[in-house]
Structure 1
Amino acid sequence: MTATRQPRRHTWPLLAVIAAAAFVADQVSKAWALRDLTPGMPRPLLGSVFQLNLIHNSGAAFSIGSGQTWLLTLVAVGIGGAVLWHARRIVSVAWAVAGGLVMGGLLGNLYDRLFRPPSFGQGHVVDFLDYNGWFIGNVADIAIVAAAILVGLLAILGVTYDGSGPADRPATREEVHDA
């Protein structure tokens, strides 16, 4: 029995809307944090478990790569380019959501690296969501983590970006050999 191919669905507009929404939410929340929070003066919300604590991060997650801001900027541009390259091929709504979340989060932090002090391409990311002192992040980081969880779930379920499931994919050499 031959599978009939579904008509190609364009999901890039959904990806773009989600990316724009995540970017705007990130930048609006950072503007609020810069206006209403003071570095070094945490504001508890749930005791020390979750608090608002403004910092300017020159590194990546957990401040990894501090002092390598220019390299992180180049990596972000590369990842963003890869997402854009694949965006027009994405048919799966779930993958479009994941792509939009990662793109919006990436753009939110990339904007900081490009346009915030100390200089173009080496700006520090505004972080203010303190999770029990383990790490301090922002709305862009939430979007990126949500995208990573969704991508992991889609991989476990075998959903590909073009919407095909495991039954629709041609078998790999290993699968043919194992059969």
Structure 2
Amino acid sequence: MVWPRPAVIAGVLACLLLDQSLKAWAVREFTLGEFREVLPGVLSLGLIYNTGAAWSLFAGAALPLAALRLVVGVALLVYLSRRAVPPLTGVALTLIAGGALSNSLDGWRLGKVVDTLASHTLSAVTRALGQGDFPVFNLADVWVVSGVLLLLLRSTRSPTRSSSTA
């Protein structure tokens, strides 16, 4: 078996460490439902728990979601260990794997996911669209969304001879 490249392992471990550290700090620092502005009008830090996914989708399904996240994270690690991919794709898939594995860890360990970030700016947008406040999220969610956005960015780039074969 081919082992994952060191950058992939380091990236996933960094994602896990940063997300789990912020979550552990929030659990120690805040009471449930408490939030404090960090960037006034933009971002707050606090503590809530989520047994589902964003916008409370699949509420109460923490363990099945943890299993799904684990499968996604491990599958991406296996894929990245066996296939050469362009750097942007590798970064994107590493971010998605790290975020999926970190939220999976919460689900297995706690039966819920720790959410710590509230964006007033994103909430203003979703309220303007009639959808209420933007969900509270965590760094693992940021990693996953960033990875997906990088994949979308890469898909809009003109294929070159070298990238079309990778």
**TM-score normalized by structure 2?**
0.81
| Structure number with bigger Rg | 1
Instruction: Please say if residues 11 and 96 of structure 1, whose CA atoms lie closer than 8 Å, have aligned partners that are also in contact.
Output: no
Which amino acid letter does the alignment assign opposite residue 108 of structure 1? S
- Quick one: distance in 1 between partners of 2:42 and 2:36? 11
Q: 1:91 aligns with which of 85, 88, 91?
A: 85
Q: Does 1:55 align with 2:53?
A: no
**1:165 Cα deviation after fit:** 2.6
Give the ranges of 4+ consecutive aligned residues of structure 1 lying more than 4 Å apart after TM superposition. none
Match of 1:165 in 2: 163
Change (3 A) 1:159 1:139: farther
Partner in structure 2 of residue 20 of structure 1? 13
The answer for the alignment partner of 1:103 in structure 2 is 97
Contact 2:107 2:113 in 1 (8 A): yes
How far apart are residue 81 of structure 1 and its match?
A: 3.1
The equivalent of 1:145 in structure 2 is 145
What CA deviation, in whole Å up to 9, does each residue of 1:4-50 have, x standing for no partner?
Answer: xxxxxx97321111111011000111111111111122212233532
Gaps of 5+ in 1: 1-9, 117-122, 170-179
> What is the CA distance between 1:78 and its match in structure 2?
2.2
| Amino acid aligned to 2:163 | G
- Paired-residue identity, %: 34
Change (3 A) 1:159 1:138: farther
CA RMSD for the aligned pairs?
2.3
Count, aligned residues: 151
User: 1:93-152 CA deviation, whole Å, 9 max, x = no partner?
Assistant: 212111211111111101100111xxxxxx110001011241111111111111011111
Tell me which moved more, 132-141 or 21-30.
132-141
Further displaced range: 70-79 or 50-59: 70-79
1:112 aligns with 2:120: no
Query: Any idea what SS the aligned residue of 2:38 has?
Result: strand
Shifted more, 127-136 versus 77-86: the winner is: 77-86
Measured in 2, the distance between the counterparts of 1:130 and 1:53 equals 8
Distance change >3 Å, CA 159–CA 57, structure 1 → 2: farther
